[in-house]
Amino acid sequence: MKTFVKPAVQRRSFLKGAAGAVAASFWSDDALAAVPQNVNTNSKPSELKITDLRVAVLTKAPFTCPLIRIDTNQGISGYGEVRDGASKTYALLLKSRILGENPCNIEKIFKKLKQFGGTGRKAGGVVSIEMALWDLAGKAYNVPVYQMLGGKYRDTIRCYCDTPDSDDPKVFGERMKRRMEMGFTWLKMDIGIYRLRGTPGVISGTSTRDRGREHTLTGVEITEKGAAMMADYIMKVREIAGWEVPIAADHFGSMGVNSLIRLGKAFEKCNLAWMEDPLPWFRTDLLKQIADAVDVPICTGEDAYLIEPFEELCRNHAVDVIQPDLSTSGGILETKRIGDMAQGHGIPMAMHMAGSPVANFANVHCAAATEGFLVLENHSVDIPWWDSLVDGVEKPILNKGFIKVPEGPGLGFTLNEEAVKQHLLEPGFFAPTPEWDKERSADNLWT
């Protein structure tokens, strides 16, 4: 009659037996007992359920930044961030759609919610939840987000930043030089037709009544003289900053396609990294017209939502660089998909970001896991308390122009609650939100 032996006893008997003598030298009883210490036993991912969603709104971090916290039945929480300047309501109205869901089913929940997103800030609620789900899943499985995306291509993420403006190119050039001394290996500047105000013979149709209208509908045009003046400004900055560091340019002003081509031709001598958003991202044919006419890389994408518009831009080679804002483009996984798709067309991906450390580290994990990544924006270089909002990561967060990819579970940080409380825009630190528990509507996309 055979005697039943418990699996653990069987294993140890094998290791101690003649056949397992060699193995036993590697796997002692102490080593076997230590294995569970490396596993997150505080969470059972298959039984994880979402129980709550709460918000806390930061001010000037660098803009209005609503943070969200998703709580679960197992005591772990995940953090996300609504895009800078957007309303916390974008996230709260989705709370009832995720209660009771397993947060590890990230793609399933995203497909359920993505109909509530849209271009610009309208995607903020959907993406903040997607960020928090990745944070939760990583904590549940005790791995960093980049690992769940397939691993990382890099240990540090290169960043660029804006620099305080000046009408004097020599002053601005010195400021750019100081950025380089801080360790930045990529720079960006704003260079628009506002610099030409008060100068005769440089622009036509400058009425402020057209402010906010789409670029090509304003009737504003720039002359050869005006384009040359803007290019000369950049060249004077180049004389101080040098030619080794890429410099991107943005915020040219609203003007017609022919004027943008005229401006791009004037910029050719400046060797720019890119001209950003000369037209709105959805004007694929017009962007291609500009890209084909000038020898300056064209870049766009910070307001586009989901992979489809990026695919159209890349397939038509209407741009040379895509620049999704992860908080608009659909979140961590969708942005990685966008970067991989663009790489297939030979186009690199820069990333637009103007948020708190929460959004920052969502971007960092995505950038680490995307082979075609180029550089990440950071708008917070001059905010002294920005680093204090999170712990558990290398400080300073932005160190000599680079951010180290964190190795902790999820997004890799712990929220410094006391620091967050000091910088709230409005009262309420992740206060209960029961009024949003039963928000419902007919959400089907078809009937």
Question: How far is 296 from 292, CA to CA, in rounded Å?
Answer: 10
Q: Which CATH superfamily is domain 156-190+240-252+267-414 in?
A: Enolase-like C-terminal domain (3.20.20.120)
Handedness of CA 42, 44, 49, 55 (dihedral sign): positive
**pTM of the predicted model, to two decimals?**
0.90
Q: Calculate the dihedral angle through the C-alpha atoms of 55, 59, 63, 67, rounding to the nearest 10 degrees.
A: -20
User: Which positions ≥6 away from 395 have C-beta within 8 Å?
Assistant: 387
Token pair recorded at residue 433: 């939100």
Closest CA to 344 of 368, 385, 311: 311
The answer to whether 284 touches 312, Cβ cutoff 8 Å, is yes
CA 164 to chain centre: 22
Question: How far is 254 from 435, CA to CA, in rounded Å?
Answer: 43
* CATH node for 45-144+429-436: 3.30.390.10
The one-letter amino acid at 301: G
Question: How far is 145 from 103, CA to CA, in rounded Å?
Answer: 14
Per-residue pLDDT of the chain (447 residues; tens, 9 = 90+): 433 334 443 444 433 444 444 444 444 555 444 444 555 555 799 999 999 999 999 999 999 999 999 999 999 999 999 999 999 999 999 999 999 999 999 999 999 999 999 999 999 999 999 999 999 999 999 999 999 999 999 999 999 998 999 999 999 999 999 999 999 999 999 999 999 988 999 999 865 555 678 888 888 999 999 999 999 999 999 999 999 999 999 999 999 999 999 999 999 999 999 999 999 999 999 999 999 999 999 999 999 999 999 999 999 999 999 999 999 999 999 999 999 999 999 999 999 999 999 999 999 999 999 999 999 999 999 999 999 999 999 999 999 999 999 999 999 999 999 999 999 999 999 999 999 999 888 888 877
- Phi, psi at residue 140, to the nearest 5°? -65, -40
**SS3 of the chain:** CCCCCCHHHHHHHHHHCCCCHHHHHHCCHHHHHHHHHHCCCCCCHHHCCEEEEEEEEECCCCCCEEEEEEEECCCCEEEEECCCCCCCHHHHCCHHHHCCCCCCCHHHHHHHHHHHCCCHHHHHHHHHHHHHHHHHHHHHHCCEHHHHCCCCCCCEEEEEECCCCCCCHHHHHHHHHHHHHCCCCCEEEECCHHHHCCCCCCEECCCHHHCCCCHHHCCCEECHHHHHHHHHHHHHHHHHHCCCCCEEEECCCCCCHHHHHHHHHHHHHHCCCCEECCCCCCCHHHHHHHHHHCCCCEEECCCCCCHHHHHHHHHCCCCCEECCEHHHHCCHHHHHHHHHHHHHCCCCEEEECCCCHHHHHHHHHHHHHCCCEEEEECCCCCCCCHHHHEECCCCCCEECCEEECCCCCECCCEECHHHHHCCECCCCCCCCCHHHCCCCCCCCCCC
Length of the chain: 447
The pLDDT score that the predictor gives to residue 197 is 86
Token pair recorded at residue 125: 């609620």
* Sole residue written with tokens 């300056």: 296
The pLDDT score that the predictor gives to residue 21 is 43
Question: How far is 62 from 426, CA to CA, in rounded Å?
Answer: 16
The answer to whether 221 touches 256, Cβ cutoff 8 Å, is yes
Question: For the chain, what is the radius of gyration of the CA atoms?
Answer: 26
User: What residue segments make up the domains of the chain, in order of their start?
Assistant: 7-38, 45-144+429-436, 156-190+240-252+267-414
The pLDDT score that the predictor gives to residue 447 is 73
Strands 187-190 and 203-204: unpaired
Beta partners for residue 275, in sequence order: 249, 298
* Distances in whole angstroms, Cα of residue 187 to Cα of each of 162, 179, 242, 370: 7, 8, 11, 21
Token pair recorded at residue 303: 């307001």
The one-letter amino acid at 401: G
The pLDDT score that the predictor gives to residue 162 is 85
